[in-house]
Amino acid sequence: MTTTCQICGRDIKSKNGFIAHHGYKRPGSGWQTASCFGAKYRPYEVASDALPKAIAGLEQQIANNFAMWVSFISEPPATLKKVSKRMGYDWDTKEYPRPENWTPPKGAWSSMGYENAWCTIQSQREHDNRGMCDMLDFLRKRLADWKAPE
């Protein structure tokens, strides 16, 4: 029987009725990322109990991210750090003080200093939010499509 993770939808071995740890990636120099939230839950073919917990957690994370985003725009930090990486490691860190009377840009942005660091952080936050919203849609659809075994 195929056993599918409730969360990521991948075919994963089920030992003793529970999905095995999975989701490891070896980026850069080979460290491991955390396992999928669906590990140690029953397969999707027999249960959907992990989905409501994952959905609630993701909804909370999106709400927290939105609150941080509003704060970041309304009260830009006094200083920002920009970390350059090489081969997955922090290579160089620069700290930029917020210019006097600085306001967040509404269009094009500069390639240097505080404004660049601010826009980079803002862009990453928007990218992360889109990814979380896409994942939330995926999880909600999986839960809506789930049918109890006969």
- For the chain, the structural domain boundaries read 1-47, 51-145
Q: Answer whether 0.85 is exceeded by the pTM.
A: no
49, burial (CB in 10 Å: exposed 0-12, middle 13-18, buried 19+) = exposed
Q: What is the pLDDT along the chain (150 residues), one digit of tens a residue?
A: 679 999 999 999 887 899 998 876 555 555 556 788 999 999 999 999 999 999 999 999 999 999 999 999 899 999 998 887 777 777 888 899 999 998 888 766 666 789 888 988 888 888 999 999 999 999 999 999 999 888
